[in-house]
Structure 1
């Protein structure tokens, strides 16, 4: 099963956590070999590009929007196969994005400027995971 977008149920579960402070989003992405712009042909470059290249276009357009809503990328790097985890599963790219709040995260996601460029993300990825982490809740030892 592939995961490209959040579901209404996952949004409800996130809101029901009642998080009020900053959060960190762990994003794991698997890219298309060739970006698929069939859902957003108006964004398609004049020649085929890789999913990784399409995601870079999305990042360049989206970073100012993320920052406008109180967020920032705190880590971005190449993924790979798990050291501990399913041996057949690998991720091409991993991001940690700090958001000032869940409310601002949703505001960023729904920003009209973000909506104009989301097609680059959708063209780029064939699978993804996003885990919202509450950095204020430390595991007791």
Structure 2
């Protein structure tokens, strides 16, 4: 099974080529490691944290930057079962992060404090997906 933690050069270039001045929703699907995998010498290496605990640290340390750029969580959920898709594909958690525009996302990931915080995300996850959507209207039908 191929796993993904960070975007490839190709997928990140495709993201950068999309409009930067419109609101975006980012679907995040998370699969945590049993034990966080920090680089040797990192302040949290050897603490025995679970992947979920390391992700909580990522949220705590990146949260102020996320809020400063105008980000918010518009939906959060805990995985229960795959209804359509591979039965062996599971996630622990999912959420949708909203940004006022792609430039806000870029501002966040370029921030030096965020770059220090993201080490916790990398240590926490064995696999993830990050999918950009243009927000649409809700309603009572699927179409």
The answer to whether the 8 Å contact 1:76/1:94 transfers is: yes
Whether 1:26 aligns to 2:27 is yes
Structure 1 CA distance, aligned partners of 2:9 and 2:45? 31
Structure 2 CA distance, aligned partners of 1:19 and 1:110? 15
TM-score for both structures, normalised by structure 2: 0.88
Q: What root-mean-square deviation, in Å, do the aligned CA atoms of Structure 1 and Structure 2 show? A: 2.0
TM-fit CA distance, 1:20:
2.4
Segments of 5+ residues of structure 2 without an aligned counterpart are none
Structure 1 CA distance, aligned partners of 2:22 and 2:11? 19
- Runs of 4+ in structure 1 off by over 6 angstroms are none
Segments of 5+ residues of structure 1 without an aligned counterpart are none
Structure 2 CA distance, aligned partners of 1:103 and 1:136? 19
TM-fit CA distance, 1:95:
1.2
TM-fit CA distance, 1:46:
5.6
Equivalent residue of 1:80, what SS?
Answer: coil
Of stretches 64-73 and 12-21 in structure 1, the one that deviates more from structure 2 is 12-21
TM-score for both structures, normalised by structure 1: 0.89
Q: Alignment length, in residue pairs?
A: 139
Equivalent residue, structure 2, for 1:37: 38
